[in-house]
Amino acid sequence: MIIELERGRQATLDQIRDLAVRFGNRVELSEGTGVYDTVHIIGDSREFASRESYILGLPGVRAAWQPTGGYKNIARVVRGNEGKALHRERRVVEVKGLDGKVRRFGGGNGKHIFVCGPDSPQTLEQTLTTARMAREVGEKFGILDRVMLRGGAFKPRTRPTDWRGLGMKGIAIMDAAREETGLPYVTEVMDHNLVEQIGAHADMLQIGTRNAQNFDLLEAVGRFGKPVILKRGFGNEAEEWFYSAEYIANQGNLDIVLCERGMKTLYTKGGYCRNQPDLNACTHARKQTILPIIFDPSHVAGDHRIVAENLMAACGHLVDGSITETVHTEAWRREQLCDAGQALVMDQYAILVEAVLEYEAHVAPKMKTILRMLGTD
């Protein structure tokens, strides 16, 4: 529900907030251009909305209306009847590190967040070495507050006999990497019963492509409240992806980062890439939702020799960051039990990071100017 409220009506705002909290919702306040502000009730607001007459009677309330479109919690523009519309600010999703630095995804600030690390932690040494190298990359380019680790301890695998990750032992390894480097980490959760257990350790949770429409899982991470990377289902339309995000948001958690990781198509059968990247979906997500959008060049490529082109192409679509699989040495590739062929060696990754930063400094501002001229930013 959207409420239009005279500016400065603090007592009414407090009453609205109290009611929202009672029904498990929270409020987002947007400053209007005139003398009214807009209060957006975040989460499943059906019960809240049933108190409409009480709300309309509160001092300073000018109107209260229901959004008519879908995914109202994450939409950039929330529309109602009679041409009503609420234009919202882009969301910044914050992930705090033990090093005291905050990684900020999105918000249109043009600062790419670099998530890197192994497909999965296998040994302490492998993971620590990769994490140290990630930290060095951050220090070298003065972007430590933009570097984060990844590593899936619970692995979704196509064949039941394939290695499925170290489970909680892998989480302990990721914890150790964070402890030593201060870098926060994201890790995949596949089972709604494990959200609290894994979430108590991880700084950010990942929903994988195969679970993009596992609604119990989406709701569980929504309730849990920590930041989430939501990968797009490999066969999902953009709308379906946004509705998956809406499942999380409907539980009151708006700390969602969308991630495009490619689709299965007829064209990927030739073996030249693993998944077809849908870069236009990144642009579409930026326009349609308030959420940050990142790109996964590794699962798109399936081959480390074509990761760079894919990531740079996504930069052309002004993504807010990337999540890239890396190994600490070429020799480790033989040992890596999952997604070995697509991992970039950290030294190569460092060069790619430099290229992204150059793009960000010199080309992205021009892209933004063009988009503003076209009226499509």
Distance between CA atoms of 301 and 321, rounded to whole angstroms?
17
Both structure tokens of 146: 């933009």
Task: Please work out the total of residues on this chain that contact Mn ion, with binding judged by CB under 5 A.
Answer: 2
Among 103, 104, 178, 261, binds ligand PEP (CB under 6 A): 261
Residue 261: contacted member of Mn ion, ligand PEP, none (CB under 5 to 8 Å, by partner type): ligand PEP
Q: Which of residues 286-315 bind ligand PEP (CB under 6 A)?
A: 296, 299
Instruction: Verify binding: residue 260, ligand PEP, rule CB under 6 A.
Output: no
Of residues 143 and 300, the one with the C-beta less far from ligand PEP: 300
Residue 286: contacted member of Mn ion, ligand PEP, none (CB under 5 to 8 Å, by partner type): none
Q: Which uninterrupted H or E stretch holds 251?
A: none
Among 4, 119, 203, 260, binds ligand PEP (CB under 6 A): 119
User: DSSP labels for 245-299?
Assistant: HHHHHTTT---EEEEE--B--GGGGGSS-SSB--HHHHHHHHHHBSS-EEE-HHH
Site string for ligand PEP, 311-350 (x = CB under 6 A): ----------------------------------------
Instruction: Verify binding: residue 44, Mn ion, rule CB under 5 A.
Output: no
Would you say the C-alpha torsion 364, 369, 370, 376 has a positive or negative sign? positive
User: DSSP labels for 330-342?
Assistant: GGGGGT--SSGGG
Of residues 231 and 284, the one with the C-beta less far from ligand PEP: 231
Q: Which of residues 117-136 bind Mn ion (CB under 5 A)?
A: 119
User: Other C-beta atoms within 10 Å of 324: how many?
Assistant: 27
Instruction: Verify binding: residue 188, Mn ion, rule CB under 5 A.
Output: no
Q: Which of residues 212-241 bind ligand PEP (CB under 6 A)?
A: 231
Distance between CA atoms of 352 and 324, rounded to whole angstroms?
11
Residue 209: contacted member of Mn ion, ligand PEP, none (CB under 5 to 8 Å, by partner type): ligand PEP
Distance between CA atoms of 40 and 37, rounded to whole angstroms?
10
Q: Which of residues 317-356 bind Mn ion (CB under 5 A)?
A: 339
Distance between CA atoms of 289 and 366, rounded to whole angstroms?
23
In eight-state DSSP terms, residue 214 is: -
Q: How near is the Cβ of 260 to ligand PEP at its closest, in Å?
A: 10
Give me the phi and psi of 244, to 5 degrees please: -65, -45
Of residues 112 and 299, the one with the C-beta less far from ligand PEP: 299
Angle between helices 307-315 and 346-358 (to 10 degrees): 20
Question: HSE of 9 in the Cβ direction (CA atoms, 13 Å)?
Answer: 22
Instruction: Verify binding: residue 152, ligand PEP, rule CB under 6 A.
Output: yes
Task: Please work out the total of residues on this chain that contact ligand PEP, with binding judged by CB under 6 A.
Answer: 9
Instruction: Verify binding: residue 277, ligand PEP, rule CB under 6 A.
Output: no
